[in-house]
Structure 1
Amino acid sequence: MQLNYRDQLMLLKDILSEHESECCGSVAEYEQLERLIRSLMANAEVNDQLKQSLETIYTYCQNGKNSSDITDFIASHQGQLTQWLEDINALS
């Protein structure tokens, strides 16, 4: 089943919110975020400001899935997670 633009944004926000609140995640979640972001980046509905945030989140995912301690990695990005969620809500 193909997710539409709004569904993709909701899923992105849900996973990032979980990282922010629970301070835990998995390699599979990072890989799912990467797929979502690639799909959103190809979508003409996404404005340039949101694309900049998505690029930063994509880098976070790449570094996170290769981290030796995902929990510590997420904890070190709490401020950024909060900002990304605010950006997504404001720009979408």
Structure 2
Amino acid sequence: MPIQYTDQMNLLKDILQNHSKDCCGSVSECEQIERLAKALMVNQNIDQTGKAILSEIYSYGQNGKYTQHLDEHISNHQDQLNSWVDQINQFS
């Protein structure tokens, strides 16, 4: 059973907040970020600005999945992580 829109948004936000707070994460979290962002991008309730943000988040997850230095990847995106969480709060 697929999870609901608000649950997807909350889960995405939680993972991004954890990455921001802990400055570390796992490949499986990056894969989950990818799946959630991709699923949300097709949601009719999200405008083009929201979809652009989700596209950035998707790229972050995809790049994180393939990097050799995931903790460094997360550290390099601290500003974006906080910004993305703030922006998700606006359209969730």
Give the TM bin, normalised by the shorter chain: over 0.9
Gap regions ≥5 residues in structure 2: none
Q: Secondary structure at the match of 2:19?
A: helix
CA RMSD of aligned residues (A): 0.9
Q: How many residues align?
A: 92
| 8 Å Cα contact 1:30/1:62 also seen in 2 | yes
Distance 2:35 2:51 in 1: 14
TM-score normalised by length of structure 1: 0.95
Distance 2:77 2:44 in 1: 29
TM-score normalised by length of structure 2: 0.95
Gap regions ≥5 residues in structure 1: none
Tell me by how many angstroms 1:43 deviates: 1.1
- Deviation >2 Å, runs of 4+: none
1:85 paired residue number: 85
Tell me by how many angstroms 1:91 deviates: 2.5
Identity %: 47
